[in-house]
Amino acid sequence: MLRGKVIKAAGGFFTVCDQNGRNYICRARGALKRNKQALIVGDRVLFKPGSAVSDHSNSEGVVEKVLPRSSCMPRPPVANVDLLVIIMSLKSPDCDWQLISRMTVLAEKENLTVIICLNKTDLISKDEYNELTDLIKPYPYPVIFTSALSYEGVNYLKEHLSGQCSVLAGPSGVGKSTLLNCIQPGLALQTGEVSEKIGRGKHTTRQVSLLPLEGGGSVVDTPGFSRLDFPDIAPGQLADYFPEIESLRGYCGFRDCRHISEPKCVVKQELGKTVNPMRYDHYQYFFNELDKREAY
């Protein structure tokens, strides 16, 4: 058997790239399906190539085994990535800060490094930019401002992607594919415009694909989405996935403080200092959401 990595998944077929860079169109062995072991992009696998592979006339194969994953994001569905780049546009469509926080919770759960990329800076004024920088003080993740039109921040983003397996995620229309085309024009990814009627972008990326980068590493381009549900997280675990709150563990007046309505809560005392008020609002909203879900 050969080792490979799933770089594309569509219609029950999986494109697997072996260690020599050769691609095989594979199906999953029935045993994987019976064990409900779903294959996703980024999976490291063992597979058997077709019998005629030696004369280069057959590029088919069968995936026999999925190797252990170092990380797994449920949405976008991707495995074994190191870095999550959350891309949001500042306008057209407007930035969804709560969705950013939802995605960071999932990333923290999988121990991924996170970068926030705020795109389309060319669409905002200087006053709006200053208001934005005030809004995200303090903020627990690096923030990169980019514009595919002016190329602002593009090289900085490219440096962060180099040598890593990264996933770019965010709603449709925020410019994920456009930014990737700026970073590496040879990718020639399809791009689209935002609908003026609904204020959202159209899905130009139809499937999850793992793309090699010329400077080393790889990046996963994903279809956009605007909704994201949490996996199996208990309300009491939520603070573990907010690094600015988790860092204050043990300093509250009550050992089991939930940071909601308890007195002597250090998290609330740190609002505007080490804890971003907007992020804390998201924490409260998510906690109540998980608490209601657990009650049912």
Residue 75: what pLDDT?
A: 75
Q: What tens digit of pLDDT does each residue of 175-229 get?
A: 998 999 999 987 766 554 544 444 444 444 457 889 999 988 999 887 766 678 8
| Burial class of residue 53 in the structure, from the number of CB atoms within 10 Å of its CB (0-12 exposed, 13-18 middle, 19+ buried) | middle
Given the structure tokens 């494109």, which residue do they identify?
A: 15
* Locus of tokens 């003026």: 196
240 pLDDT higher than 60: yes
Q: Name the one residue in this structure whose structure tokens are 């999976």.
A: 43
Q: Domains in the chain, start-ordered, CATH in brackets? A: 2-68 (2.40.50.140), 73-221 (3.40.50.300), 235-295 (1.10.40.50)
CA dist list (Å): 59 to 193, 195, 255:
36, 40, 59
Residue 250 φ/ψ, nearest 5 degrees: 90, -10
pTM of the complete model: 0.86
The residue ranking higher by pLDDT, 296 or 126, is 126
Backbone angles phi, psi at 159, to 5 degrees: -60, -40
Greatest mean pLDDT among 21-35, 160-174, 192-206: 160-174
Distance CA(280)–CA(94), nearest Å, equals 20
Bond preceding residue 171 cis, omega within 30 of 0? no
Compare 294 and 247 and report the one with higher pLDDT. Answer: 247
Q: What is the pLDDT of residue 51?
A: 59
Measured CA to CA, the distance from residue 187 to residue 202 in angstroms comes to 19
Q: What is the pLDDT of residue 189?
A: 64
Give the model's confidence band at 35: pLDDT under 50 very low, under 70 low, under 90 confident, else very high.
low
* pLDDT above 70 (res 17): yes
122-160 pLDDT tens trace:
999 999 999 999 999 999 999 999 998 999 999 999 999
Do residues 4 and 16 make contact, with C-beta atoms less than 8 angstroms apart? yes
pLDDT of residue 143: 97
What percentage of residues in the chain have a pLDDT greater than 70?
Answer: 89
d(C-alpha 42, C-alpha 165), whole Å? 9
pLDDT band at 93 (very low <50, low <70, confident <90, very high): very high
The confidence band for 161, taking pLDDT boundaries of 50, 70 and 90, is very high
Query: Tokens 């595919």 belong to which residue?
Result: 148
